[in-house]
Amino acid sequence: MLQIQQQRINPKQWLNSIQNFRRKGPPRHTSESEKQWRQWLYQHHHHPTLLPSICFIPVPSQFRMRCPIWMWQSILFFHLFNIGDQTFQLNDCHHLLASYLVPSSATPLVKVSSNPIQEYVDQLLQIGILMERDSGYTYNPILSLPNTLEKAKNQDYHMMQKLMRV
């Protein structure tokens, strides 16, 4: 049985990767769900290269998701996090991403004790993006949605510094 271990984020490697994404954009050959996601972004006047830095946080069990990291993390950002002072629960995240999560029964040879959604929420708590409340979590709006590539890159640099402290 394969054991997946927690790995620390290499912040400089993360920064290079995300800034490469911002320069080149997401891959051209995409799935139908990613096409729908892009269409939704465009209809709401957003662009994949201008997603906030928190939509690129690596998680050890990403392999359990049926879509790229920037896709499912941006879905959480736009539908749960970026809605004022709204409190949400982990179950809300799971409900929103249910169709993207590969059930653990589909990977019987991999022993996994955690899931990517929980890992993501935990990391956002550690760096102060989410705050824990009695009834769930609240987004701490310390990051704005970048509207230029320069602002996005600046946000990436500040996020890298936060990741280095974790």
Mean pLDDT of 141-161: 90
> What is residue 132's predicted lDDT score, i.e. its pLDDT?
93
Cα–Cα distances in Å, from 58 out to 44, 112, 124, 136, 160?
25, 16, 11, 22, 12
| Angstrom distance (rounded) from CA 88 to CA 147 | 26
Tens of pLDDT, residues 85-134: 788 999 999 999 999 998 877 777 776 666 899 999 999 999 999 999 88
Distance between CA atoms of 101 and 105, rounded to whole angstroms? 11
Length of the chain, please? 166
CB 116 within 8 A of CB 62: yes
Q: pLDDT band at 73, cuts 50/70/90?
A: very high
**pLDDT score, position 140:** 87
